[in-house]
Structure 1
Amino acid sequence: MAPRQRRVEFRADLPTGEDWLRCADLLADPARFAQWRERLAGWLREQFGEAPARTTAGYVMSWYLHVPAYAAALLWHHERRVPLLRPDELAFRLGDGRPHPAGIAVLGSDFHCLPDDPAAGRPEATVVAGERALAAALRSRYVAHAARFVRAYSAVSGLGRRMLWAAATDALENSLWWAGRQGGDEGAGVADAALVLDARYAPLTSASALRLDGDQGWTRPRDSCCFSYLLPDEAECAECPRIRRLR
């Protein structure tokens, strides 16, 4: 799926009067994912005439995982900080039409940072030795959140754990890449992905897979499938794993 600009807010609590979902509430009651998928199904029927269950499961899978991944990637890219990414400290707001996470709120104040960070002396800061240690903190925090999602969503979505961890890997690398691109320095995003995913760290399914592809520029093969090809007149994405298996 193509990258979309999301607004990320850092705040003490959720705004009132807006349709925000706290990640912890969804994970504590996985049946709430069905409500999200029903809303998505309505939008897909408007756009395509059909809403296959596997497609709604795949979209919600990818969209949810991009919430912790994108919040981490933006703060990493712009500040070299890593938020804790706890489910009770992350929330998102669904778009009015297409029900994707259109806004993300980081509610916690604690973070990991480098020794030269201007806020390194603050009580909410955990200082690490260098960028590799900070990258390890990002992976650890992200994987901890993703693991809770995999447990919750595998029970209600019909998707296997291998697919869910593949989607978690896609979300993390794509978010690091997109944060650089959307910040005006795609090369920095590629470098960030190469540092954070310099090897395969199980249960993530691969190391950084970004590569230059002629006139297309930077691209990467997906580990997971969004199941868009099940929609009428839609084909597999260019980097879909189904295409690689069929070759």
Structure 2
Amino acid sequence: MSLRVGLPEDEAGWVNCGRLLSDSAGFASWRSSLAGWLDATYGAAPERTTGGYVMTWYLAVPGYLAALLFHHERRVPSLRPEQLAFRMARPRPHPESIAVLDTRFVCLPDDPAAGTPAATVVPDERALAAVLRGRFTAHAARFIATFAPTVRFGRHTLWAAATDALDDSMLLAGRYGGDEGAGVLDAALLLPSRLGPLTSGSTMRPCGGGWTRRRESCCFHYLLEHGKGPCSTCPRVLPK
């Protein structure tokens, strides 16, 4: 996913997270569009699969934005739903771009912009990680309050998906930045242990010269391809 500050003049295709979370009908429409794409690609999609996909995709919006800025800039942006938007791709209806609509951020004392009106300074990386975790958790709580009544997922599953969004995003930030190990270290800083309501600390583990992780949640993709079974990182396969 690409990132930008502010929306383009042509806002077609952009979805404001705050508006989406204000009415669960938006998620019903998203899942209906997804079901059509999945049906054309794999065959009929169960409700659990469309719910799992949308849950994972949505939580990646605040998670990936926060992880990239933390990893590369040591900054934490506003993660309030009203200050985030994403552009929906077609025909596969997933978020392909993210926009942050508030230019304020939290940073460290040595940030070049520390002391400017847009910056709030915290003393060290541990404090910065705590700000990120708190802002993401607040956004995830609003998502869960809207989305939970529309799916047959328990709260543990929903918070497990939120945990995955943070941990996955840090791994990807390091991988795409050319230093996967640095992303792993940032994930450990952000998720040093189970800090409720998140369901675990970072689950990174070495794998074939690189890094992978055990997911906390299931996306239910395996229900589309009968006989293939869950993904190798699924909690149904890898025990804690």
The TM-score normalised by the length of structure 2 is: 0.96
Whole-Å separation in 1 of the counterparts to 2:84 and 2:78: 9
Work out the CA distance in 2 between the residues paired with 1:183 and 1:116: 22
- Can you give the 5+ residue segments of structure 1 that lack an aligned partner in the other structure? 1-5
- C-alpha offsets along residues 154-210 of structure 1, whole Å, 9 cap, x if unaligned? 011222111000000001000011011001111110111011111211000000110
Instruction: For 2:225 and 2:160, locate their aligned partners in 1 and report how far apart those are by CA, in whole Å.
Output: 25
Which one of the candidate residues 211, 216, 234 is aligned to 1:240? 234
Does structure 2 retain, via aligned residues, the 8 Å contact 1:221–1:240?
A: yes
Structure 2 residue 88 is the aligned partner of structure 1 residue 94: yes
Q: State the SS of the aligned residue for 2:203.
A: coil
- Once residues 234 and 14 of structure 2 are traced to their aligned partners in structure 1, the CA distance between those partners, rounded to angstroms, is 31
* Corresponding residue number in structure 1 for 2:32: 38
Number of positions where the alignment pairs a residue of Structure 1 with one of Structure 2 = 239
Alignment partner of 2:17 out of 23, 27, 33: 23
Structure 1 segment 12-91 matched on structure 2, within 5 A: 13=7, 15-91=9-85
Please show how residues 125-164 of structure 1 align to structure 2 within 5 Å: 125-164=119-158
Give the aligned residue type for 2:4. Answer: E
Distance 2:202 2:216 in 1: 11
1:196 maps to which of 155, 166, 190: 190
After TM superposition, the runs of 4+ consecutive aligned structure 1 residues lying more than 3 A away are none
Identical positions, percent? 58
Q: Within the alignment, does 1:220 sit opposite 2:203 as a pair?
A: no
Alpha-carbon spacing, 1:140–1:14, altered in 2? closer, same or farther (3 Å): farther
Contact 2:20/2:27 (8 A) holds in 1: yes
Amino acid aligned to 1:221: R
1:31–1:156 CA contact under 8 A, matched in 2: no
1:116 pairs, out of 110, 120, 130, with 110
The CA RMSD measured in Å over matched residues stands at 1.4
CA distance in 2, matches of 1:232, 1:174: 23
**Paired residues of 1:72 and 1:82 also in contact (CA < 8 A):** yes
**Does the 8 Å CA contact 2:232/2:238 hold for their aligned counterparts?**
no
Question: What's 2:171 paired with?
Answer: 177
User: Do the aligned partners of 1:50 and 1:232 also contact (CA within 8 Å) in 2?
Assistant: no
Cα distance between partner residues in 2 of 1:127 and 1:218: 32
Q: CA deviation at 1:79?
A: 0.6
Give the match for residue 231 of structure 1. 224
| Residues in 2 aligned to 1:164 and 1:10: alpha-carbon distance in whole angstroms | 28
**DSSP 3-state at the match of 2:216:** coil
Secondary structure of 1:145's counterpart equals helix
What's the CA shift for 1:14?
5.2
What is the letter of the counterpart of residue 102 of structure 1? E
In the alignment, the residues of structure 2 paired with residue 56 and residue 201 of structure 1 have an alpha-carbon distance, to the nearest angstrom, of 28
Whether the 8 Å contact between 1:22 and 1:88 is mirrored in structure 2 is yes
Once the 2 structures are TM-superposed, how far is the Cα of residue 235 of structure 1 from its aligned partner?
Answer: 2.1
